[in-house]
Structure 1
């Protein structure tokens, strides 16, 4: 099972570097050899088998798209939004460029210039060894500017989601199907995410949230401002997210599908 194609299949804003193209070819060769001995190869979204097949020799009858692995929905129960509180957006991911942290911070600045009472939460750890990571200095700066709320390490992520109004994942990383988005949807939160593999599987644009282009802080800010100015849409989209999570992400519905794929001959 491949839960996303990962770093070497994630383009930067100006496309793939020469190094990544070479790594893709090496990865494709290894997959061609390794998966020749596999009975089945499972993916979580439909883009991954197409893109991997373009770099490797994969037997199509071995490829299966499972969709999301799913959640125990009882661990993420629905909780209604409180529209009496300032509108709060939440980002949950490692603080890496690929996860969209810089677009999130830029969008937060744009929004707070118009709606200073809007709140922006960031949950995620620094990765000082990663050159594409948000630095400690940059984090301290945005905290000092009162751009974000950063509580550090927390063990009650679901409570932080419930205390927010909109979940935001502006990632351009090759996700499988992001688990954090599934959790937010189960709790009943509108979602803003990007039009990239994996992320776009979680949102029906205009129904349970919005899909924006990757690398575009202005488009992200526009959707945030729209939701601040139309709070009833936050509630409507959040309820739609919850309904989609119940239908698509219940692990008790997904496990039998997985078992059927594994057992079929």
Structure 2
């Protein structure tokens, strides 16, 4: 360790960073390397999250974990009041130097708790706007207005700095006058571990068929219906390929595949339905093309970052969340959202491409992942925000 890094570590010794997320799954799968890096650099790490099966794995890393009732889909006023109360108690007890809040609900509750943690630097990471910002249902629109009002108050109280994963979401918050541009940053996604996801792990197909993968929630906004329609059209035209679908339905979202539709996928002769997958490196190593025809208000789709690092060809949409992931015709194709015709055409072009040119496309995906989206770059940019002094806030 050089002298500069030694002095930095000493200056952080005794300082606490508190990470809050809806689920332990999110912290383990999306932010583990960031948390580990902060710990290695001398921060006292504390975690607080909802429970979904990964608490033990996080605690095994030596990080204390506080469980919180933070359900991203929760809308029961009494339960939400209880969750906010627990967040307030957590801040009052821990008094962290930095609080890093992930997802909209955690940003909202963490910022509202700011008066109880007076010397804390608040950093919020919005990983996407989700159903609240995409639905046209009257009940959801009314809830959105309430959330925006509470968020405006919380951001004013905490003087939080918000990280967005794309400029479109950033501009929406600025236009809503929720906070000034100087308290915002755009950092593309949570980054990808380019050692964990590597094309050297690729497993060639036994039958020579090109292997397609849809990986995401089984909701219309993620493009599952478009994928099913486009692949059916290709088969009708005589094209042969292997198709896998990984992901689960999203109960409570009216656009989710029904239980009957999921059952039909299990029995399908044209798709292999895998359900939820934990071992993404192995899944992507046995994949040639990752297809995500999404129009969901997300940040930057993690599966596309992992697929690029693993050397997969990408087909996705022109929404802001996917910007910069594809170079048209070089490592894949962009299509317009909800365009089954364009999706089928793009997949047909990849299927008809010879092996040598498809290898060039895989190599290009890897280059894009390393140069633009590695977790090392993302984590360094994120941790720079921790070093600023706590903003002067109204507390």
Same structural fold, with TM-score higher than 0.5 when normalized by the shorter chain:
yes
Distance 1:219 1:257 in 2: 36
Distance 1:141 1:260 in 2: 49
Q: TM-score, normalised by structure 2?
A: 0.61
Does the CA contact (< 8 Å) of 1:43 and 1:176 recur in 2?
A: yes
- Provide closer, same or farther for how the CA distance between residues 25 and 231 of structure 1 changes in structure 2, counting only shifts above 3 A: farther
Does the CA contact (< 8 Å) of 2:127 and 2:189 recur in 1?
A: no
For the pair 1:45 / 2:166, whether they are aligned, the reply is yes
- Provide closer, same or farther for how the CA distance between residues 57 and 156 of structure 1 changes in structure 2, counting only shifts above 3 A: closer
**Could you say which structure has the greater relative contact order, defined with CA pairs below 8 angstroms and 6 or more residues apart?**
1
Partner of 1:33: 153
CA-based RMSD: 2.2
Partner of 1:250: 374
Partner of 1:61: 182
Tell me, what secondary structure is at the counterpart of 1:125? coil
- Please report how far the alpha carbon of residue 97 of structure 1 lies from its aligned counterpart in structure 2 after TM superposition: 1.3
- Please report how far the alpha carbon of residue 255 of structure 1 lies from its aligned counterpart in structure 2 after TM superposition: 1.8
Q: How many residues are matched?
A: 261
Does the CA contact (< 8 Å) of 2:265 and 2:273 recur in 1?
A: no
- Please report how far the alpha carbon of residue 264 of structure 1 lies from its aligned counterpart in structure 2 after TM superposition: 3.8
| 1:204-223 deviation digits (Å, cap 9, x = unpaired) | 22222111111111111110
Query: Unpaired runs of 5+ in structure 1?
Result: none
Which of 61, 70, 77 in structure 1 is aligned with 2:191?
70
Q: TM-score, normalised by structure 1?
A: 0.89
For the pair 1:165 / 2:288, whether they are aligned, the reply is yes
Structure 1, 102-111 or 248-257: larger mean CA deviation: 248-257
Tell me, what secondary structure is at the counterpart of 2:281? helix
Does the CA contact (< 8 Å) of 2:311 and 2:363 recur in 1?
A: yes
For the pair 1:136 / 2:259, whether they are aligned, the reply is yes
Distance 1:131 1:68 in 2: 27
| 1:68-87 deviation digits (Å, cap 9, x = unpaired) | 22122221122357477201
Tell me, what secondary structure is at the counterpart of 2:361? helix
Tell me, what secondary structure is at the counterpart of 1:150? strand
Partner of 1:88: 211
Distance 1:152 1:59 in 2: 42
- Provide closer, same or farther for how the CA distance between residues 23 and 205 of structure 1 changes in structure 2, counting only shifts above 3 A: farther
Considering only CA atoms, is the larger Rg found in Structure 1 or Structure 2? 2
Does the CA contact (< 8 Å) of 1:182 and 1:202 recur in 2?
A: yes
Which of 360, 368, 387 in structure 2 is aligned with 1:236?
360
Tell me, what secondary structure is at the counterpart of 2:291? strand
- Please report how far the alpha carbon of residue 263 of structure 1 lies from its aligned counterpart in structure 2 after TM superposition: 2.0
Distance 2:326 2:161 in 1: 28
Does the CA contact (< 8 Å) of 2:284 and 2:307 recur in 1?
A: yes
Does the CA contact (< 8 Å) of 1:200 and 1:211 recur in 2?
A: no
| 1:47-71 deviation digits (Å, cap 9, x = unpaired) | 1111222334321211111222212
Does the CA contact (< 8 Å) of 1:227 and 1:234 recur in 2?
A: yes
Q: 1:154-233 counterparts in 2 under 5 A?
A: 154-232=277-355, 233=357
- Please report how far the alpha carbon of residue 235 of structure 1 lies from its aligned counterpart in structure 2 after TM superposition: 2.0
Higher strand share: 2
Does the CA contact (< 8 Å) of 2:212 and 2:290 recur in 1?
A: yes
Tell me, what secondary structure is at the counterpart of 1:121? strand
